[in-house]
Structure 1
Amino acid sequence: MTDFKDAQVVSAQDTRRRVLAIVGASSGNLVEWFDFYIYSFCAIYFAPAFFPSGNTTTQLLNTAGVFAAGFLMRPIGGWFFGRLADKHGRKTSMLVSVYMMCGGSLAIAFLPTYAQIGALAPALLLIARLFQGLSVGGEYGTSATYMSEVALKGRRGFFSSFQYVTLIGGQLCALLVLIILQQTLSADDLKAWGWRIPFVVGAGAALVALYLRKSLEETTTAESRRQKEAGTLRGLWKHRKAFISVVGFTAGGSLIFYTFTTYMQKYLVNTAGMHAKTASNVMTGALFVFMCLQPVFGALSDRIGRRKSMLMFGALATLCTVPLLHALKDVSSPLMAFVFVTIALTIVSFYTSISGLIKAEMFPPEVRALGVGLSYAVGNAMFGGTAEYVALWFKQAGSETTFYWYVTALCAISFLVSFSMRDTAKEGYLRHEP
């Protein structure tokens, strides 16, 4: 049994070790999401290289389709890495996932274009993206589980919120790298070869994450790993109600998250008519504020409970999504665009700050990583990963505002699911663990 499980009194040394463990787990999380999101942010530049077409929306629709395809691998990744984490430990699972993401990024960085090898180019891009999707599918569940288990009792909302700090940090770093490239390279250079640079950077950063993660201590016990149903679908079936609940509130949570993060940059350019550089600056500022809000809302959940936080998210998202997207559609000022996006992301923070924790509190340790990873991956693959594709499809069909109501409907479902839930901070499985 690990020191984390043996600790009866939270000493200063124990607190320091737990904080360092959060940092180690977070580092890999940041790199994973940097590599995953740089695809979306650079799509404007590399889309013509793989999908030659004169229509910008068609090109973005094709790259969004590949982006969505990566999400379809997440349930497989959630199952594979969840099983690995529950049977062989969280640390092993997190190390393997970083290796896989690194390989996918390197593959994309050196892919030949359509002009060089024809239709094989987008096919290889799809394969590399599926590889990354498999990795991220495992990263979310395992890192969320690890950070929830290693967090201090009574402050789990605050500590676990750093999963999304680094997840958003990965997006923010991706945007910052893109902005630097936009300032130093011409648009022609970015389309020709500059878009490859961020993928190389991400692969290199994975080496640092691997070094930090190798020093992590395991949070599972040998006893839980040896259980017959550890990491099995049969064991998870006993907690099918929790599984369905997670899929339910993940549907709206992940959909609105990707709408106002990865898709929003394209929305500001393709719908609001904003310059690409200006849109990048707006999103960088909004994502920075979003990142800083996570610990605040995580700590708030420690005080008011997870259920109330989720209800606030569901209610506000349902009421405000349509007005905010309409306002952003007609926005002309970058400052007002920043304000509207920040308001939306503040609402989303009620969910994101406790997203991993509330899932972890719903499953026992022997199937926790599998339960968190697979249920999240299913909901995310169906709704979050398809956000860009669905939005662009409605736009191409001449009914863009239908997408606004689609997001609203899913957020309403999240509210209803949250309303039927018990407060996991008081009644969840983690309440018994130190």
Structure 2
Amino acid sequence: MQAPDTPNAAQAGAAPPLSRFGAVLRVTSGNFLEQYDFFLFGFYATFIARTFFPAASEFASLMQTFAVFGAGFLMRPLGAIILGAYIDKVGRRTGLIVTLGIMASGTILIACVPGYATLGMLAPLLVLIGRLLQGFSAGAELGGVSVYLAEMATPGRKGFYTAWQSASQQVAIIVAAALGYILNLLLTPEQTGSWGWRVPFLIGCVIVPFLYILRRSLQETAEFQARRHHPATSEVFRSMLVNWKTVVAGMMMVAMTTTTFYLITVYTPTFGRSVLHLSTADSLVVTFLVGISNFIWLPIGGAVSDRIGRRPLLLFISALAIVTSYPALEWLAHAPSFLRMLTVLLYFSFFFGVYNGAMVAALTEVMPVEVRVAGFSLAYSLATAIFGGFTPAVSTFLIEMTGDKAAPAYWMMFAALCGLVATVVLYRRGGAAELQARLG
């Protein structure tokens, strides 16, 4: 694996704090839109199912909806390779403007498509296309943003800076949950089912121009500008093949964070309503508070990993998730209540925030510098496609097949095991020395 170019520490540290804050805000704006729309799709899954996927049973209808939700994640690896290679070639700024445009197209399509009763089979097909566009864009969005933040970070604070990639997504969760709560108060269930669920999607469309203006004002990173060679797409593909073991191990490391995230955010409203039989308001309040908790823990996890290293944090959280996930979820399922649901999901939020805060920085460090965006994006996208994106569908299936309301914990424990093994592999004696060289 080729050693990275030496970052220009003087340049990285030269920008004033307000300038760096503005850069973080501009680069993470697209992350906000991505997660805002993804969360809405999961939260309004029941209404989307009735609008676009009518079926004989609620289970069948929900499974079709979650399958379309997951299909968007299957496009992520393709977007990671194609758009990730494009970003590694032309630069972070230009590439991230392109990903925002593609993502916005998918959002607008989902918000405006008439239902099955009006368009017949064309309606679910158009929704599927919208999800595929979003997935294709998101495949490189997370990698592009994470690498941008890593390259602009001041020395010794890479974990803290890259944590804001995920933190921006939590703002989207908070905003979406708050909007859902307000609509739940103002509209009847019939109004929400017929047209009210589209309102948050349309609001997402309205903010697209503002996000574009923010991202358009981005400056290219000094590290990318200083690099003498920018690989062609064919070179990126060849390097990805050579480093496939790193990509696979990175995918397994991401599995823990992406599964936990989609379990405690996107799946929570459906789990609360359909499985635990709690009120819609309870589920939304829990999701809102989980978003706040995630936002707090992410930079803490990143900052702590800057002080003690990525490896100890990743191993500790993975092991804790393996041992305690099922007992926590079984305690909730045994006697469902608002307080128990809040307690368990805030506990899982601790898992996600601390682990992800360390993991994102680690993933930018293990990838060869010349294909940093493509490698990061492919590893992240594969994990999201295989684990995170299908977490709502897998959770629904496990509960249906086993009759155990705590069954989603098995999926989370498996993902945590993958994260534990991957951390050991990437940080084995030789790998740890290489990572220290990259950091030092």
1:168-214 Cα distance to aligned partner (Å, 9 max, x none)? 22222221121121111111111111111111111222211111111
1:373 maps to a residue whose letter is S
Distance 1:157 1:230 in 2: 31
Cα offset, 1:355, TM superposition:
3.1
5+ residue gaps, structure 1, are none
Q: Select 2:119's aligned residue among 106, 117, 120.
A: 117
Cα gap change, 1:121 to 1:147, in 2 (>3 Å): same
| 2:305 maps to 1:305 | no
**1:208-223 equivalent positions in 2, closer than 5 A:** 208-219=210-221, 220-221=224-225, 223=227
Q: Would the aligned equivalents of 1:286 and 1:341 in 2 still touch at CA under 8 Å?
A: yes
Distance 1:12 1:79 in 2: 33
Distance 2:99 2:432 in 1: 28
Cα gap change, 1:16 to 1:396, in 2 (>3 Å): same
Report the 3-state secondary structure (helix = DSSP H, G, I; strand = E; otherwise coil) of the residue aligned with 1:8.
Answer: helix
5+ residue gaps, structure 2, are 1-5
| 2:390 maps to 1:386 | yes
Q: Would the aligned equivalents of 2:12 and 2:152 in 1 still touch at CA under 8 Å?
A: no
1:390-413 Cα distance to aligned partner (Å, 9 max, x none)? 111222324445542232123112
**1:34-53 equivalent positions in 2, closer than 5 A:** 34-53=36-55
Distance 1:78 1:271 in 2: 35
| Correspondence for 1:361 | 365
| Correspondence for 1:60 | 62
* Residues 117-126 or 305-314, more deviating: 117-126
1:427 maps to a residue whose letter is L
| Correspondence for 2:419 | 414
| Correspondence for 2:3 | none
1:280-315 Cα distance to aligned partner (Å, 9 max, x none)? 111111221121111111111111101111101211
TM-score of the superposed pair, with normalisation by structure 1: 0.93
Distance 1:9 1:58 in 2: 55
Cα gap change, 1:117 to 1:323, in 2 (>3 Å): same
* Residues 322-331 or 179-188, more deviating: 322-331
1:140 maps to a residue whose letter is L
**1:30-429 equivalent positions in 2, closer than 5 A:** 30-53=32-55, 55-219=57-221, 220-221=224-225, 223-227=227-231, 232-400=236-404, 401-422=406-427, 427=435
1:354-385 Cα distance to aligned partner (Å, 9 max, x none)? 33221111123210000000111112101111
TM-score of the superposed pair, with normalisation by structure 2: 0.91
* Residues 406-415 or 120-129, more deviating: 406-415
Q: Would the aligned equivalents of 1:165 and 1:294 in 2 still touch at CA under 8 Å?
A: yes
* Residues 251-260 or 369-378, more deviating: 251-260
Cα offset, 1:14, TM superposition:
4.2
Report the 3-state secondary structure (helix = DSSP H, G, I; strand = E; otherwise coil) of the residue aligned with 2:258.
Answer: helix
Distance 2:243 2:358 in 1: 20
Cα offset, 1:225, TM superposition:
4.8
Cα offset, 1:275, TM superposition:
1.1
Cα gap change, 1:323 to 1:292, in 2 (>3 Å): same
* Residues 345-354 or 368-377, more deviating: 345-354
1:48 maps to a residue whose letter is R
Distance 1:230 1:176 in 2: 45
1:419 maps to a residue whose letter is V
Aligned residues, how many? 429
